[in-house]
Chains A and B, each alone.
Chain A
Amino acid sequence: MATLSKSENTIFREGPVIFIVTGTQAPFDRLLLILDKWASNQEKYTVIAQMANSKMHFKNMHCFNYLEPDVFNEYFINADVIIGHAGIGTILTALENEKKLVVFPRRVKYSEHRNDHQLHTAIGFEKLDLINVAYNENELVRYLDNPHAIAEKKRIDNKAERRLIDALCSFVNK
Chain B
Amino acid sequence: MKKILAISSSGGHWIQMQRIASCFSGNEVVYVSTLEGYAKEVHLSKYYKVKDASAWSKLDLIIVGLQLTNILLKEKPDIVITTGAAPGLLAIVISRFIGARTIWLDSIANYEQISFSGRLAKYFTHLHLTQWQHLANQKTLFLGKVL
Contacts and interface: CB of A to CB of B under 8 A. Distances in A.
Interface of A: 23-25, 68-70, 87-93, 95, 114-118, 120-121, 123-125, 128, 130, 156, 158-169, 171-174
Given A120-B111, A120-B112, A172-B79, A88 B144 contact: no
Which residue, B56, B103, B111, B143, has most C-beta atoms of chain A within 10 A? B111
27 contacts: A24-B10, A25-B11, A69-B40, A87-B11, A88-B13, A88-B109, A89-B14, A92-B19, A114-B56, A115-B116, A120-B110, A124-B108, A124-B111, A156-B147, A158-B19, A160-B147, A161-B146, A161-B147, A163-B143, A164-B145, A165-B23, A165-B144, A167-B144, A168-B23, A172-B24, A173-B2, A173-B27
A172 B2 contact: yes
B10 A165 contact: no
Contacts of B111: 117, 120-121, 123-125
Given A69-B38, A121-B109, A164-B143, A88 B20 contact: no
A24 B36 CA distance: 13
Nearest to A123: B111
Interface of B: 2, 4, 10-16, 18-20, 22-24, 26-27, 35, 37-38, 40-41, 54, 56, 79, 81, 101, 103, 105, 107-112, 115-116, 127, 132, 143-147
Nearest to B19: A160
A171 B35 contact: no
B88 to A, nearest CB: 14
Contacts of B54: 114
A161 B56 contact: no
A68 B40 CA distance: 11
A24 B143 contact: no
A91 B108 CA distance: 11
Name which of A88, A161, A162, A166 has the most chain B CB atoms within 10 A of its CB. Answer: A88
A120 B134 CA distance: 13
A172 B12 CA distance: 23
Contacts of A169: 23
B144 A161 contact: yes
Nearest to A165: B23
Given A161-B144, A164-B144, A172 B23 contact: yes
Contacts of B12: 87-92
- Give the one of B24, B81, B109, B132 with max A CB within 10 A: B109
A87 B14 CA distance: 12
A70 B145 contact: no
B11 A23 contact: yes
Contacts of A118: 109
A88 B41 CA distance: 18
Contact of A163 (B24, B81, B144): B144
